[in-house]
Amino acid sequence: MDPETSDDQLLAAFLGGDQGAFDTLMRRHEDRIFGLALRMTGNRADALDATQDAFVAAFRKARTFKGTSAFSTWLYRIGINACHDLLRKKSKLVPTEEIDPGAMPDNMAEDVGLRMDLALALQDLNPDYRQAVLMHDLGGFPYEDIAVLTGVHVGTVKSRISRGRKKLAEMLEQRGAPAASNQTT
Amino acid sequence: MTQMTHEDVSALLRSYAEDGLGKDQRARVQDHLGSCAECRAELGVVTALMAAPARPMDDLERAALHQAVRTEIALAQAPRMQRWGRRLAPALGAAAILAVIAVGIVSLDRDAIQPGRQVEAPAGTTNDEQAEEQQLDDGEDGTTATSQAAADSAGGSGGGSAGTTSSGKAARNSGSVPAAGGALQGSQLDSELNRDRAGVTIVRRSFASARFDPGNLVAIAGDLAAGPSAESDAGSDTQALYATGRAGPWRATVARCIERTVSASPLELTATSATVYRHEDIVVITFVWVDDSRALNYEVRGWRNRDCDRPSPIYRRGRVP
């Protein structure tokens, strides 16, 4: 596997019949998708389900990828949709926290309660806001990419993100897990 | 310093959180944050979202995920039983081929049907197709490690089933009832049973029919380290492993894992095929079988350190109608 091969090249190879290219793409992006799913569902079992669903969907839809956005953006949205579908199927995903000795106890954001609350809050958030927030804040995708992918103006993306964050902050505060950061540095 | 608006700050928050802003912008954002609780609240959310997840996938979860993805894709492309005679292009190599085999092997051989067991023919299967599929040479080509049940006859009646291994050694020989519509009838046709050295029955199959490539009929011991082509390619090097015995201790390990799983399964798991995946010290095996409604089911299990005596949890499972 050549680490220099771009996503686009791998995708082209895959569409040209190289099954191994899909494996490579999967390996490249699976942690990110899993991280997204874990953030959204709050538990590993559902996160693994959603990750699996996402890659199966990507495989099936590979031909429809137009290249107007980056492959990783496109895949990320498939991941969000997979989580969303899982949500719908299960009507509500209940984050079940596992006591993880590997978790970083010093990091407030890793606090068990906050992680669960965040997952629940995300599930309750307006889907448009949620998609925008996840893609930008969690996925790190630029506004332009998100705009192209979701078919709206950059301004709309920005306002969705801002409103989504505010709503999340409200919900988190209501649950008693203040997300407001006192840090200014 | 010009004041930043909420919108300006909001648009910069993520970069700010990952320390990606230039000194000047950073200072201006900080300045705004100092007196704006709303924007601080937004920043708090951004920080929470950006925090790393608790624990990334470990190697077993990862390998099981790969297997499950491949399996699900392959099974979705496997023909329905009533159309099982149709040629199927392999989707992802091993899993697809074995799934096809699984369906194909679950062909109905009416001659082998035990009296008293009702078996329905797959719709659309003609006598010609059945006859053709009955040409199963016992050739040199590859082996497929499957659970004993695949080769068992209608075990429900307890004995005297054609094709059953004579020495009934493997624990799962007894009482493994075929799950798929009564179709897993033992017969001279679809199996010749061989004991491998580990004492687990390996079913040897090969097909004379041009529809199946005999080179692909192997139990796959894919090696992650060798890269994607070794995993997804059902072909030559893995076949060579089994044919020449170079798999050595891994073969025994794999066989043992399969045997223990099948014999211990409360579901009377009658896996008709297994795809094996190994890397360093883990083995991941996907069991595929057909249920009564002809849906294809799979379970992915994994073992570490070749410790097949420890029952494996089911890492992934699914059903493809």
Average pLDDT score over residue span A149-157: 95
Instruction: Calculate the average pLDDT of chain B.
Output: 52
Q: Tell me the DSSP string of B129-170.
A: HHHHHT-----SS-EE---HHHH---GGG-S--TT--TT--S
Closest CB to A19: pick one of B10, B65, B92.
Answer: B92
Q: How far apart are CA B266 and CA B252, in angstroms?
A: 23
Residue B209 has pLDDT above 80, yes or no: no
- Phi, psi angles (nearest 5°) of residue B186: -70, 150
Q: With bands split at pLDDT 50, 70 and 90, how would you rate the model's confidence at A10?
A: very high
Residue B232 and residue B289 in contact, taking contact as beta carbons nearer than 8 Å: no
Q: Is A180 within 8 Å of B72 when comparing Cβ atoms? A: no
Residue B218 has pLDDT above 90, yes or no: no
The residue type of B111 is: D
Residue recorded with tokens 């057909």: B290
Residues 6+ apart with CB under 8 A from B305: B281, B282
The residue type of A120 is: L
Residue B227 is encoded by which pair of tokens? 């890269």
Interface of B with A in 247-276 (CB under 8 A): none
pLDDT, residue A16, reads 87
Closest CB to B65: pick one of A51, A114, A115.
Answer: A51
pLDDT, residue B283, reads 72
Contact residues, chain B, for A102 at CB < 8 Å: 54-55
Q: Which stretch of DSSP H or E encloses residue B223? A: strand B221-223
Residue A184 has pLDDT above 80, yes or no: no
- Residues comprising chain A, all counted: 185
Contact residues, chain B, for A100 at CB < 8 Å: 54-55
Residue B179 has pLDDT above 90, yes or no: no
Residue B110 and residue B120 in contact, taking contact as beta carbons nearer than 8 Å: no
Q: Is B57 within 8 Å of A38 when comparing Cβ atoms? A: no
Q: Helices A44-61 and B59-77: crossing angle, nearest 10°?
A: 40
Interface A-B, measured as beta-carbon pairs within 8 A, has a size of: 137
Residue B32 has pLDDT above 50, yes or no: yes
Residues 6+ apart with CB under 8 A from B281: B304, B305, B306
Class of residue B56 by CB neighbours under 10 A (exposed 0-12, middle 13-18, buried 19+)? middle
For the stretch A79-99, pLDDT in tens is 999 999 998 887 766 666 554
Residue A1 and residue A24 in contact, taking contact as beta carbons nearer than 8 Å: yes
For the stretch A28-61, pLDDT in tens is 999 999 999 998 888 888 999 999 999 999 999 9
Interface of B with A in 19-48 (CB under 8 A): 30, 33-34, 37-38, 40-48
Residue A52 and residue B68 in contact, taking contact as beta carbons nearer than 8 Å: yes
> What is the SS3 assignment for B247?
coil
Closest CB to A180: pick one of B40, B49, B69.
Answer: B40
Q: Is A19 within 8 Å of B52 when comparing Cβ atoms? A: no
**Residue bearing the bigger pLDDT, B100 or A104:** A104
- Percent of chain B scored above 90 by pLDDT? 13
pLDDT, residue A94, reads 64
pLDDT, residue B264, reads 64
pLDDT, residue B291, reads 63
> What is the SS3 assignment for B69?
helix
Q: Is B228 within 8 Å of A107 when comparing Cβ atoms? A: no
Q: How far apart are CA B189 and CA A32, in angstroms?
A: 48
Find the residue in A nearest to B30 (Cα).
A184
* DSSP structure class, residue A51: H
Q: How far is CA B252 from CA B165, B166, B244, B257, B282, in A?
A: 19, 21, 14, 9, 14
Q: ∠ at Cα B319 (B181, B83), nearest 5°?
A: 55
Average pLDDT score over residue span A112-139: 88
Q: Is A158 within 8 Å of B10 when comparing Cβ atoms? A: yes
- Residues comprising chain B, all counted: 321
Per-range mean pLDDT, top range of A146-155, B71-80, B186-195, B309-318: A146-155
Q: How far is A158 from chain B (nearest CA, A)?
A: 7
Q: Helices A71-90 and A44-61: crossing angle, nearest 10°?
A: 130
Residue B77 is encoded by which pair of tokens? 């492309």
Residue B15 is encoded by which pair of tokens? 């970069």
Q: Is B48 within 8 Å of A158 when comparing Cβ atoms? A: no
The residue type of B6 is: H
B56 in A contact zone (CB under 8 Å): yes
Q: Is A168 within 8 Å of B227 when comparing Cβ atoms? A: no
